[in-house]
Each structure stands twice: as C-alpha cells, then as structure tokens.
C-alpha cells in the first residue's frame, strides 16, 4: 500500500508502487506530468510553474471509455428484504482515480486511471435497456476490508416499501449525484435503494461520509456537465 | 415597455406570458409522463403505456397551444381554414417539397432515427448528421455527405444500428479435430470475460456449432454496446487466434487425405510376383 496517495500534493510529486508510477516535476518554467501503469505511459507538459496536484477517487464510469453514466453492481448472493423493512448492507464498488491540477481556485482533470477490472453490461433488454459499468461484489453486514486503490465501500440503505418479500440481486446507480468520500485508507459512498415493487426500485446517494474524518472527492460529473439530469435512477428492468 | 403593443391588442407582456405557458406545459409534461411511467409500469402493458404517455404528452402541448393562441388573439378555427387553403395552394404548386416537408415532420415526431445514429437508408450507410424539415444528411464511413429527401427516408426501409443499446455479432472459429474443443471454448470465454466492451449480460454464447469437413466449428457470439461493437469485433478475433495458438490449438485449414488405388495394386502385384518366384 502507498501512503498519502489521495489528497493534495505539492510539486514535485513522486508516487510509486509495484504497478503505478506518477511523477510531476518542475522544468524551467513548466511542469511535466508522467504516469505509467500496466505498460501504458502518459506524459503531459503543463504550461504553468505554480500548481498543485490533487488525487482523488472519481465516479467509476469513465474508463476504458465514457460511454455510460450508470454503474451496475451485481451481488454475489441475493439479498432478501422483508415487507416494509429497512436494512443496511455493505458492498464494494470499483474505484477510478482522477488526477487534477489546480491553481488557487480552478481544478482541471488531467488524467484518469483505474486499477480495478473494467467491464460493461446491459441492464434490461437490448431494445429498452441501458449500458452500465459492471461490478460484482459480495454483500456484507458490516464494513468489509478493501484496498482503496482498487475498490471502495458502499453503504447501501435498503428500504422495501412494498408489501412483499423482495429478492435483490443487483443495484444500478447514476453517476450524476455520486458522493464519494475518501481517507488515506478508505474510499466510500452511501446510497439509498428504495424498493417500490417486484421489478422496480429507486436509487440515489446520501451526501455524507462513512466515517467522520473522510474528505469529499471533487465531483467530476458536476464539474463537467450541466446538472440537468436527475441524480436518481429508477430501476425498471428488475432488481 | 411591457405594455408596448406588438400587434392588434397583443403586448410584449402577452408574448412573455405565452412563452412561459409553453415552457410550463413542457415542464409539467415531463413530470407527468415520468410519473405515469413509474406508477403504471407494472399495471399496464408496455405498448399501451407508451400510447398513454404519448397521448397525455401531446394533449397537454395541444391545450397549451390553444391557450396561447387565444391569448395572442388568433382564432384556431380561422388558422385551420387559412392553413387548409394555403396547404392546397402550396400542395398543387410543389407536391414533392410538401411531401418531403410532411415526411420531415413525421420523422421528427416518430423519430425512427436520431442524429448520431448509424443507419442504412436505401443502401446508404453511415452516421445521421442532420435531420432537417425537408432532407436528412448521412455521412458515410468514407466521409461523404449524402442528402436524402425526407419523403424517401420515410417511405423506404431504415436499418438503425444504434436503435438498441446493445447488439450481438458472430465469429466462426474452426479448430482441428485433434484439438480439445472444451479447452478452446474455455480460452475463448476467458478472453471475452477480460474484454471490457464484451458485455457481461446478455451472456456471450460460445459452443461447438457443427462438425465441418475440415474443422470443428466453434461459434462465438458476444454482445457489445451498439456504439462500440465494431471496435470489439476488430480486436477480438485476432486475440482469439493468437491465444488459441499459444495454447497449442491450431486454426484448421481445408485438407484431404487421399488413398491411392494404384499403390494398393502395386503392393498386391509385388506379393503375387514374389509368390510366383518362390514356387519356381
């Protein structure tokens, strides 16, 4: 594990582990950003001499290409929730790491990397479904251990408002509205899943950290896009 | 300023209120249709639900337009008569233009294609660049822009490759009879699993399709996002070939085993001849 990976870094920056290497160094009047991961090398020239580097987890829907704002988490084992019951469960989600450069006020994303597996899936049928980033996770009743560079911890607040027992095998989230918090050792999100009926549920995020001292990540999807899209997601193709 | 008369008794304020009514109607429409979709999802058939939602949507818009028209001092009945007469005149004068125009309106309402979609319209395949009121512009894969009159677009067969979120494609991989087909299937499945754009669901199909003349034919059918299927198709087949070969599984090529009748005869003759000499 690397120490003080996430957070604000003064230049020069050198971060190295067995697979990842990030280096930001000063030349005469400029900065050079270098990153190596899994054989992929990136080098960027930054035309500024004064800047800071911020590394924080971002919404995990950008890599390998940003083709969808949705994240689907499939559970290793189904969850059964009783009628009119509210329960908390924990699971993991993939982490994507955003590298920002900033002056005193403005932040600009210069690089995104992901150490976790990247995979897409279809939620629903081909004719009316949506493409989602895919992640498979075990379900826990207490906080699991997770390597914060690969995966974060999702605290899912499940509320079954129907009058039936419901079996939940997956959940889908909209990246517009994700509230990611981080500390040196942990990345986390808190979300609600309201089960409306056999095949329908509504998901959204809670804007609060899992632990008190966690910092809030810069929200990529509100920095880059106009907030005209609802932050909620209505799962209509099964739960 | 707001009391300034624009025409007749219509003031600037009337125009602002009219615009606000239209915007409010669109906003209410969005909310209402979303609510209808949510609440009727499990109670009404999907096709019927779409009709209900569309009827409600256009009814609200129509009511808003009627309110706005009366506010602006325009009598809808008069408009219809005037529009009808104008329509007849224009129709006689330029039938094809009006035909294209009406087709364009229906294309915009029905939306069988959207800007950015990859479509095949009457043999012209490419990206939809623009849908205008009279014609639709297609940019072919060679970068050529083709302008197709809307009447043709509307009346011809349209294949829209982006209409659905995902699509499937197929390879046939022929391996030798001496190779282990189970192992080949497992290798191909693992390759699909690590490809990000090969969708997890719907599950890909990999199976022995038939026992060919020269090879055991394995069919590979992965699903991919409609927007990225061709990228995946270009990459995956070569990866399959290389990985299979790395694991000692060869792609079979046509071959024939020939048995020579003469060879058999000559060996028989030799035996006969040697038998004769022994006897002598």
Tell me, what's the ipTM?
A: 0.89
The domain that holds B130 is classified in CATH as 2.30.30.60
Give percent of chain B with pLDDT exceeding 70.
Answer: 83
Separation of alpha carbons B280 and B215, rounded Å: 53
Residues B140 and B211 occupy one common structural domain = no
Structure confidence at residue A1 (pLDDT): 42
B99: nearest Cα among B110, B90, B108: B90
Separation of alpha carbons A122 and B269, rounded Å: 71
Q: What are the structure tokens assigned to A229, written together? A: 């899209």
Interface contact B165-A130, CB threshold 8 A: yes
Range of B175's domain?
Answer: 166-246
The domain that holds B191 is classified in CATH as 3.30.70.100
The Cα of A126 is separated from the nearest Cα of chain B by a number of Å equal to 5
Sign of the C-alpha dihedral, residues A95, A96, A102, A108?
Answer: negative
Structure confidence at residue A2 (pLDDT): 45
Helix axes B229-246, B181-194, angle to 10 degrees: 140
In a domain, B181, yes or no: yes
DSSP-assigned letter for residue B252: P
The Cα of A12 is separated from the nearest Cα of chain B by a number of Å equal to 34
Nearest by CB to residue B42, choosing from A127, A134, A197, is A197
The DSSP-derived string for chain A is: --SS-SEEEESSEEEE-SSEEEEEEE-SS-EEEEEEETTEEEEEEES-SS-EEEEEEE-S--SS----SEEEEEEEEEEEE-TT-EEEEEEEEE-EEEEEEESSS-EEEEEEE--S---EEEES-TTT-EEEEEEEE--BSSPPP--TTTEEEEEEEEEE-SSS-EEEEEEEEESTT---EE-SS-EEEEEEEEE-SSS-EEEEEE-S-SSTTPEEPP-HHHHSS-TTS-S-EEE-S--
A120 contacts in chain B (CB < 8 Å): 196-197, 199-200, 225
Residues B68 and B15 occupy one common structural domain = yes
Q: What are the structure tokens assigned to B50, written together? A: 């779409």
Sheet strands (E) in B38-183:
118-121, 124-131, 135-140, 145-149, 158-160, 166-168, 171-175
The Cα of A125 is separated from the nearest Cα of chain B by a number of Å equal to 8
- In chain B, the largest separation of any two C-alpha atoms, in whole Å, equals 137
Interface contact B199-A131, CB threshold 8 A: yes
- Report yes or no: A69 and A174 within 8 Å, Cβ to Cβ: yes
Structure confidence at residue B90 (pLDDT): 62
Residues B231 and B173 occupy one common structural domain = yes
Average pLDDT along chain B? 84
Burial B24-61 (b: 16+ CB within 10 A, else e): ebeeebeeebeebbeeebeebeeeeeeebbeeebeebe
In a domain, B261, yes or no: no
Nearest by CB to residue B41, choosing from A118, A131, A200, is A200
Interface contact A118-B165, CB threshold 8 A: no
**Nearest C-alpha in B relative to A64:** B196
**Nearest C-alpha in B relative to A73:** B200
Interface contact A129-B166, CB threshold 8 A: yes
Write the pLDDT tens digit of every residue in B176-198: 999 999 999 999 999 999 999 99
In a domain, B18, yes or no: yes
Q: Which of B129, B144, B160 is the last residue of a domain?
A: B160
Separation of alpha carbons B15 and B21, rounded Å: 10
Residues B202 and B220 occupy one common structural domain = yes
Q: Based on the structure, what is the number of domains in chain B?
A: 3
Nearest by CB to residue A120, choosing from B37, B164, B197, is B197
In a domain, B195, yes or no: yes
Sign of the C-alpha dihedral, residues A162, A166, A172, A177?
Answer: positive
Write the pLDDT tens digit of every residue in A72-108: 999 999 999 999 999 999 999 999 999 999 987 888 9
* C-alpha B255: how far from chain center: 39
The residues, any chain, with a CB within 8 Å of residue A228's CB and separated by 6 or more, are none
B94 pLDDT tier (thresholds 50, 70, 90)? low
| Residues 39-78 (B) with a CB less than 8 A from some CB of A | 41-42
Average of per-residue pLDDT across B36-56: 71
Question: For chain B, how many helices (H) and strands (E)?
Answer: 8, 12
In a domain, B255, yes or no: no
Separation of alpha carbons B185 and B232, rounded Å: 18
Highest mean pLDDT among A13-27, B60-74, B142-156: B142-156
Q: Which of B96, B130, B160 is the last residue of a domain?
A: B160
Nearest by CB to residue B164, choosing from A127, A134, A198, is A127
In a domain, B90, yes or no: no
First-to-last alpha carbon distance for chain A, in angstroms, is 36
Q: Does B202 touch chain A (CB under 8 A)?
A: yes
Which residues are B148's β-sheet partners? B136
- Report yes or no: B135 and B176 within 8 Å, Cβ to Cβ: no
Angle (CA) B92-B95-B97 rounded to 5° is: 130
Residue B135 has pLDDT above 80, yes or no: yes
Interface contact A197-B199, CB threshold 8 A: no
Separation of alpha carbons B104 and B112, rounded Å: 11
- Report yes or no: A112 and A63 within 8 Å, Cβ to Cβ: yes
Which residues are A168's β-sheet partners? A79
Chains A–B, number of C-beta pairs less than 8 Å apart? 58
The DSSP-derived string for A61-104 is: --SS----SEEEEEEEEEEEE-TT-EEEEEEEEE-EEEEEEESS
Run of H or E including B208? strand B205-211
Interface of A with B (CB under 8 A): 64-65, 67-68, 74, 117-124, 126-131, 134, 196-200, 234, 236
Give this prediction's pTM: 0.74
Write the pLDDT tens digit of every residue in A96-145: 999 999 987 888 999 999 989 999 999 999 988 999 999 999 999 999 99
Structure confidence at residue B109 (pLDDT): 77
Run of H or E including B63? helix B46-71
- Greater confidence, B195 or B271? B195
Other C-beta atoms lying within 10 Å of the C-beta of residue A114: 18
In a domain, B41, yes or no: yes
Structure confidence at residue A58 (pLDDT): 94
3-state secondary structure of B161: coil
Residues B234 and B176 occupy one common structural domain = yes
The Cα of A121 is separated from the nearest Cα of chain B by a number of Å equal to 5
In a domain, B199, yes or no: yes
Residues B180 and B238 occupy one common structural domain = yes
B15 pLDDT tier (thresholds 50, 70, 90)? confident
Q: Which long-range CB contacts under 8 A does B22-27 form with residues at least 24 apart?
A: B22/B64, B22/B65, B22/B68, B24/B64, B25/B60, B25/B61, B25/B63, B25/B64, B26/B61
């Amino acid at each position: 594990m690397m120490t003080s990976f996430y957070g604000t870094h003064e230049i020069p920056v050198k971060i190295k582990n067995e697979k990842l290497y990030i280096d930001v160094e000063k030349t005469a009047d400029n900065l050079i950003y270098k990153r190596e991961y899994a054989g992929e090398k990136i080098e960027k020239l930054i035309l500024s001499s004064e800047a800071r580097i911020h590394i924080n987890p971002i919404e995990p829907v950008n890599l390998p290409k940003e083709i969808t704002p949705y994240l689907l988490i499939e559970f290793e084992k189904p969850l059964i929730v009783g009628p009119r019951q509210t329960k908390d469960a924990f699971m993991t989600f993939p982490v994507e790491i955003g590298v920002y450069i900033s002056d005193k006020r403005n932040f600009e994303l210069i690089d995104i990397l992901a150490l976790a597996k990247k995979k897409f899936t279809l939620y629903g049928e081909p004719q009316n479904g949506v493409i989602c980033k895919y992640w498979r996770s075990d379900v826990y009743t207490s906080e699991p251990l997770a390597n914060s560079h690969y995966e974060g911890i999702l605290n899912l607040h499940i509320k079954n408002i129907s009058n039936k027992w419901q079996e939940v095998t997956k959940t889908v989230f909209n990246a517009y509205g994700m509230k990611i918090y981080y500390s040196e050792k942990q990345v986390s999100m808190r979300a609600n899943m309201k089960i409306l009926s056999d095949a329908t549920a509504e998901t959204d995020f809670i804007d609060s950290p899992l632990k008190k001292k966690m910092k809030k990540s810069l929200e990529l999807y509100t920095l880059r896009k106009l907030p005209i899209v609802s932050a909620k997601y209505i799962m209509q193709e099964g739960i | 300023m707001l009391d300034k008369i624009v025409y007749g008794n219509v003031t600037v304020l009337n125009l602002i209120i009219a615009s606000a009514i239209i915007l409010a109607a669109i906003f209410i429409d969005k909310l209402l249709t979303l609510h209808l979709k949510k609440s009727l999802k499990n109670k009404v058939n999907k096709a019927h639900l779409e009709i209900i939602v569309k009827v409600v949507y256009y009814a609200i818009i129509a009511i808003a337009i009627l309110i706005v028209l009366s506010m602006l001092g325009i009598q809808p009945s008069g408009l219809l008569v005037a529009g009808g007469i104008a329509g007849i005149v224009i129709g006689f004068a330029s039938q094809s233009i009006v035909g294209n125009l009406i087709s364009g309106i229906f294309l915009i309402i029905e939306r069988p294609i959207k800007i950015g979609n990859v479509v095949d319209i009457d043999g012209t395949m490419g990206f939809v660049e623009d849908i205008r009121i009279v014609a639709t512009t297609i940019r072919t894969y060679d970068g050529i822009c083709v302008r197709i009159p809307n009447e043709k677009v509307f009346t011809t067969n349209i294949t829209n490759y982006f209409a659905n979120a995902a699509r499937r494609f197929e390879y046939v991989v022929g391996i030798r009879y001496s190779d282990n087909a189970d192992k080949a299937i497992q290798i191909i499945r693992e390759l699909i699993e690590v490809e990000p754009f090969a969708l997890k669901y719907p599950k890909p199909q990999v199976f022995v399709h038939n026992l060919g003349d020269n090879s055991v034919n394995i069919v590979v059918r992965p699903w991919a996002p409609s927007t990225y299927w061709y990228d995946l198709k270009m990459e995956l087949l070569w990866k399959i070939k290389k990985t299979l070969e790395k694991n000692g599984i060869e792609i079979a090529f046509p071959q024939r085993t020939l048995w020579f009748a003469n060879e058999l005869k000559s060996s028989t003759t030799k035996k006969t001849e040697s038998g004769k000499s022994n006897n002598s």
